Amino acid sequence: MNVLLLGGGGREHTIAWKLAQSPLLSQLYIAPGNGGTSDMGTNLPFSDSDFPAMREAILEHQITLVIVGPEAPLVKGVREFIESDPELMGVGVVGPGQVGAQMEGSKSFSKAFMERHGIPTAAYNEFDSNQLQEAINYLDDVNPPYVLKADGLAAGKGVLILDDRNEAAEALRDMLEGGKFGDAGSKVVIEEFLKGIELSVFVLTDGTEYILLPEAKDYKRIGEGDTGLNTGGMGSISPVPFADDAFMKKVIDRIVDPTIQGLQQDSIQYNGFLFVGLMSVDGEPFVIEYNCRMGDPETESVIPRIKSDLLPILHSCSKGELKKLQLDIDERSAACVMLVSGGYPEAYEKGKEMHGLDGIEGSLLFHAGTTLNEGKLETNGGRVIAVTSFGESMNDALEKSYANARNIDFEGVYYRKDLGFDL
């Protein structure tokens, strides 16, 4: 089977690493890929949202399955693009259509979905660019801290949590009038703040059947103790200690099952990954958000724990033939530590030569923002490389990842040293 994987981050490198282990794989192509994915298959030099180039690649390389890593091509309609082309008939796609992708692409869409289907989530209201004053006035109706979410895609950085009302009002001005987050912030959702601890639950579904993947916890803030700016994610841990059988039963009964049923009731055909971001509030699960793809950096700790061959499962999912099955899961803990560029998530430099990767032992390396330049590996993004390790316990896995992280060097390198502090 010839497979095209769209994306170029750590999530895609991890998926590529897993696919490369399948005896069913003939050729793997990654577009655009990164400095690490080239070891798993062939990188193709076009962006994950360049549909005409993708079409040419599918035909040239006789692709039978397209796996969509990031959210942007899904929101843009990659599934519809492939399915509407007579020459691409029969090519499977792992990833929902445009309507299903709105579960991530529009916060107001997903909140209305949750409300409609009785799925527990925070109380909210939404405001567009013509309702700035109404949005500011609404702050008086909710208790701080104030949770402001850009409605559209903002690369995981469109959520602000502010304690001060004046700061929240100013942030609303920046979003609704000042163009912060661009079009993504032209509509804002203001939510009730939920106090608890987060985790990520992952589902693979063909719209009818679903398979539950291992859960994970990621760490979004740049600073230790969960301080500072939001990032795309600074690391992850799987399994999550507090997500025991009793808690996960609540998640399935109250959230996963009603979500799958809700998609069917709303006639939303959904083939692919569904990421449910949750908050445990005194042991009760609430949905913070949906995403229409795997999380990053959660993928870097979840996928390595799956011992089953993933390729036939993804192929059956794309065809709407997913069978409920029990995945073979590694019972050990996996911990991912993300190394980032200096200055991230704000301005940062690229092109920093990387050293020390050859000396890594006992860990997996998943490239996020790297590139090969004249045979030298260089940084090419904010999040640069993930170090993932297994351990009999979370702390054991973290210790191994940190030991290897210390051996990787590039100018400005930074990583959080307190992952798991709240577990």
Q: Does 345 map to a domain? A: no
The strand order across the sheet containing 383-391 reads 217-218, 235-238, 333-340, 383-391, 364-367
Q: Does 197 map to a domain? A: no
What's the average model confidence in pLDDT over 218-239? 95
| Residue 14 and residue 82 in one domain | yes
341 to 87, 170, 233, 364, 387: CA distances (angstroms): 42, 29, 13, 20, 15
| Residue 34 and residue 83 in one domain | yes
Instruction: List, as one string, the DSSP characters of 273-312.
Output: EEEEEEEEETTEEEEEEEESS--TTTHHHHGGGB-S-HHH
CATH assignment of the domain containing 57: 3.40.50.20
| Residue 25 and residue 85 in one domain | yes
pTM as predicted: 0.94
With a CB cutoff of 8 Å and minimum separation 6, the contacts of 69 are 5, 6, 7, 9, 11, 12, 15, 48, 293, 294
pLDDT band for position 116 (cuts 50, 70, 90): very high
Q: What is the pLDDT of residue 71?
A: 95
What's the average model confidence in pLDDT over 119-140? 92
Cα–Cα distance measured from residue 354 to residue 19, given in angstroms and rounded to the nearest whole number: 26
What's the average model confidence in pLDDT over 261-287? 97
Q: What is the pLDDT of residue 267?
A: 97
Q: What is the pLDDT of residue 156?
A: 62
| Residue 91 and residue 135 in one domain | no
Mark which of 161, 191, 221 sits at the end of a domain.
191
- Domain count along the chain: 2
Mark which of 135, 156, 191 sits at the end of a domain.
191
| Residue 9 and residue 78 in one domain | yes
pLDDT tens-digit map of 231-256 = 999 999 999 999 999 999 999 999 99
What's the average model confidence in pLDDT over 326-351? 96
Q: What is the pLDDT of residue 155?
A: 66
Instruction: Indicate the average pLDDT of the chain.
Output: 95
| Residue 90 and residue 161 in one domain | no
What's the average model confidence in pLDDT over 79-106? 96
pLDDT band for position 230 (cuts 50, 70, 90): confident
Cα–Cα distance measured from residue 24 to residue 5, given in angstroms and rounded to the nearest whole number: 15
The yes-or-no verdict on residue 326 having pLDDT over 80 is: yes
Q: Does 281 map to a domain? A: no
Cβ–Cβ < 8 Å for 186, 202: no
Mark which of 157, 191, 225 sits at the end of a domain.
191
What's the average model confidence in pLDDT over 52-75? 97
CATH assignment of the domain containing 171: 3.30.1490.20
Q: What is the pLDDT of residue 324?
A: 81
The yes-or-no verdict on residue 151 having pLDDT over 90 is: no
Percent of the chain with pLDDT over 70: 99
Q: Does 256 map to a domain? A: no
Q: What is the pLDDT of residue 160?
A: 87
Q: Does 25 map to a domain? A: yes
For residue 27, the Cα-to-chain-centroid distance in whole angstroms is 25
| Residue 76 and residue 131 in one domain | no
Q: Does 311 map to a domain? A: no
Q: What is the pLDDT of residue 323?
A: 86
| Residue 84 and residue 11 in one domain | yes
| Residue 87 and residue 169 in one domain | no
Q: Does 198 map to a domain? A: no
pLDDT tens-digit map of 153-175 = 876 668 888 999 999 999 999 98
Q: Does 312 map to a domain? A: no
What's the average model confidence in pLDDT over 31-59? 97
What's the average model confidence in pLDDT over 362-383? 95
Structure tokens at 326: 């029990």
Give the structural domain span for 151: 123-191
